[in-house]
Amino acid sequence: MPGESGIWIGFGMSEPTGNPIFDKGRASGITNNSLITFQGRPKVGEGLEIGVAMGLHNALVVSGFSTRAAGDFTSTSALTLWGQSYDQGVLISTNYHLQDVKLSFEYLTWPYPVGTRHFRLKTLWQVQYVNINTGFDAPLLPITGPSGGPLIGSNGSPVTYQAAGSRWFLSPTLGLGVREYLSKFVRLELNGSGFAYPRHWTIWDADGSINFRFGHFELGGAVRAFHVKTSTAGPYYVRGTLLVPQVSLRWYSK
């Protein structure tokens, strides 16, 4: 069936919804509140997929997507974010950039031999890399003095209210995938995988799509749910679930 021989390359566009949270971890050593929700609607995300058929209806697929969002809120309590303190009632700007890269070996589990059947059940053996860059600022607080020069803090450096940091991890994920070829030109696909390291990170994602084939090209529409929680053992962590409607265009060599 299409996609079970040769190679393919796909590009996707998505419009995620959801607002991750930021909070202090077990190693923070601070007493101030650090729990905030990132503001702003995520911008249109980009996705890329490269697949190679491995024979016997198996495949090796590399895929990735990224999204970002920015927005403002007024703090209702004193906050400490990446070591930077903000008083209650301060306007705080937030931003984040989420990146995910997945290497997946899709192994045909049933039926075997396939014969003329159009249904495929695959086990998914994966490795995922997740990186989340985050930043905060208080844009309305003064950083210049009456003379127009920069304000100097007690440490002798210019005053700044910016704070930034990132969290990343590399994790195995295990899952199942279902393919149903309604015809040579229409394919349904469902996938779900995940992994959790208790008291550290958690990751899972699930998607469903319908795909229409036109010669060497395939147009797809999908909905994906993606959840990530970075390690809570460090000073700070990020947790969130995104719902990701997306469209994709793939080119197949065969």
Distance CA 151, CA 125 (A): 54
Question: CA-CA distances (angstroms) from residue 28 to 55, 107, 138, 200, 232?
Answer: 50, 42, 22, 15, 10
pLDDT of residue 151: 75
Range 242-253 burial, b when 16+ CB lie within 10 A, else e: bebebebebebe
The residues of the chain scoring below 70 in pLDDT are 145, 154
Quote the pTM value.
0.92
Tokens (6 digits) for 27:
């190693």
pLDDT of residue 62: 98
Q: What is the pLDDT of residues 224-241, one digit of tens each?
A: 999 999 999 999 999 999
pLDDT of residue 145: 67
Which H/E stretch holds residue 163?
strand 163-181
Q: Where are the domains of the chain?
A: 7-139+158-252
Q: Kindly report the backbone phi and psi dihedral angles of residue 33, in degrees, each rounded to the nearest multiple of 5, phi listed first.
A: -70, 145
Cβ neighbours, 10 Å, residue 237: 22
What are the helix (H) ranges across 44-180?
A: none
Residue (of 209, 208, 234, 232) closest to 219 by Cα position: 209
Enumerate residues 6+ apart whose C-beta is below 8 A from 22: 34, 35, 36, 37, 38, 81, 94, 134, 236, 237, 238
Distance CA 225, CA 206 (A): 5
Which residues make beta-bridge pairs with 195?
203
Distance CA 159, CA 162 (A): 9
Location of structure tokens 């265009």: 249
Q: What angle do CA 188, 192, 193 make, to 5 degrees?
A: 150
Which three-class secondary structure state does DSSP give residue 221? strand
Question: CA-CA distances (angstroms) from residue 211 to 5, 121, 181?
Answer: 17, 17, 10
pLDDT of residue 4: 87
Q: CATH fold of 7-139+158-252, please?
A: Lipocalin (2.40.128)
